[in-house]
Amino acid sequence: MADGQPRRRTVDGAPDGGKPLDRVWVAVDTGGTFTDVVAWGADGLRTLKLPSTPDDPSRAILDGLARIAPDATRLVLLHGSTVATNALLEGRGAAVTLITNRGFEDVLAIGRQNRPQLYALVGHRPPPLVPAERRLGIAGRLAADATELEPLDESELADLAARVRATGAESVAVCLLHAYADGAHEQRVGRALEPLGLPLSISSELLPEYREYERTSTTVVNASVAPVMSRYLRRLEAEAGAERVAVMGSNGGTLAVERAAREPAHTVLSGPAGGVVGALEWARRAGHPSILTFDMGGTSTDVSLCPGRPLHTREFEIDGRPVALPVLDIHTVGAGGGSIARVDPGGALRVGPESAGAVPGPICYGRGGTEVTVTDAHLWLGRIPADAFLGGEGGLDRAAVEGPLRRLADGLGTSLDAAAEGVLAVADAAMERALRVISVERGYDPRDFALVAFGGAGALHAGELAGRLGCDRALIPPDPGLLSAWGILTAPLSHAVSRTLLAAADRPDTTRRVDDARAGLTPTATEALVGDGADPERIEVRCEVDARYRGQSFELRVGADEGDDWAEAFHAAHAARYGYRRDDAPVEVVTVRVTATAPGTPVVSPAPTPVDAPATRRARTVVVEGRALSAPSVWRRDLGPGHRLNGPALVLDYSATTWVPPEWRVEVDEIGVLHLRSGAEPTTL
Q: How confident is the model at residue 292 (pLDDT cuts 50, 70, 90)?
A: very high
| Same domain assignment for residues 183 and 255 | no
| Same domain assignment for residues 517 and 570 | yes
| Domain termination site, one of 563, 598, 633 | 598
User: According to the model, what pLDDT value does residue 4 have?
Assistant: 58
Q: What are phi and psi of 285, to 5 degrees?
A: -60, -35
Mind listing the pLDDT tens digit for each residue in 329-348? 999 888 889 999 999 999 99
Mean pLDDT of 242-265: 91
User: According to the model, what pLDDT value does residue 5 have?
Assistant: 62
| Same domain assignment for residues 73 and 163 | no
User: According to the model, what pLDDT value does residue 8 have?
Assistant: 57
Mind listing the pLDDT tens digit for each residue in 405-450? 999 999 999 999 999 999 999 999 999 999 999 999 888 999 999 9
| Same domain assignment for residues 84 and 169 | no
The C-alpha R_g of the chain, in whole angstroms, comes to 26
Q: What rounded mean pLDDT belongs to the chain?
A: 89
| Domain termination site, one of 581, 598, 615 | 598
Mean pLDDT of 44-57: 86
| Same domain assignment for residues 138 and 180 | yes
The pTM (predicted TM-score) of the whole model is 0.87
Evaluate whether residue 333 is within a structural domain: no
- Cis preceding-peptide flag for 360 (omega within 30 of 0): yes
Q: Strands 200-202 and 244-248, how do they pair?
A: unpaired
| Same domain assignment for residues 355 and 415 | yes
CA distance 658 to 651: 5
* Residue of 116, 119, 99 lying closest to 108 (CA atoms): 99
Other CB atoms within a 10 A radius of the CB of residue 406 amount to 14
Mind listing the pLDDT tens digit for each residue in 483-503? 999 999 999 988 889 999 888
Read off the DSSP letter of residue 504.
E
Evaluate whether residue 386 is within a structural domain: yes
User: According to the model, what pLDDT value does residue 562 have?
Assistant: 87
The CATH number given to whatever domain includes residue 53 is 3.30.420
For the cut 80, the answer to whether the pLDDT of residue 504 exceeds it is yes
For the cut 50, the answer to whether the pLDDT of residue 216 exceeds it is yes
Mean pLDDT of 261-274: 90
Q: Are 212 and 180 in contact (CB under 8 A)?
A: no
Q: Where are the alpha helices (DSSP H) in 256-351?
A: 257-262, 270-285
| Same domain assignment for residues 347 and 402 | yes
| Same domain assignment for residues 124 and 78 | no
Q: Which of 387-396, 427-436, 470-479 is least confident? A: 387-396
Q: Which of 200-204, 286-290, 602-606 is least confident? A: 602-606
Evaluate whether residue 70 is within a structural domain: yes
Evaluate whether residue 251 is within a structural domain: yes
CA distance 85 to 224: 11
Residue 612 or residue 35, greater confidence: 35
Evaluate whether residue 473 is within a structural domain: no
Mind listing the pLDDT tens digit for each residue in 178-199? 999 999 999 999 999 999 999 9
The CATH number given to whatever domain includes residue 553 is 3.30.1490
CA distance 451 to 293: 6
Evaluate whether residue 278 is within a structural domain: no
| Same domain assignment for residues 180 and 243 | no
User: According to the model, what pLDDT value does residue 7 have?
Assistant: 63
Evaluate whether residue 585 is within a structural domain: yes
Number of compact structural domains in the chain: 4
| Domain termination site, one of 376, 402, 427 | 427
User: According to the model, what pLDDT value does residue 17 have?
Assistant: 38
**Which residues lie below 8 Å from residue 231, measured CB to CB, with a gap of 6+?**
none
Q: What are phi and psi of 201, to 5 degrees?
A: -115, 115
Longest dimension (CA), the chain: 84
Percent of the chain scoring above 70 in pLDDT: 94
| Same domain assignment for residues 127 and 80 | no
Evaluate whether residue 587 is within a structural domain: yes
| Same domain assignment for residues 168 and 247 | no
Which residue type occupies 475?
A: L
Range of the domain at 28: 7-88+230-267
| Same domain assignment for residues 564 and 528 | yes
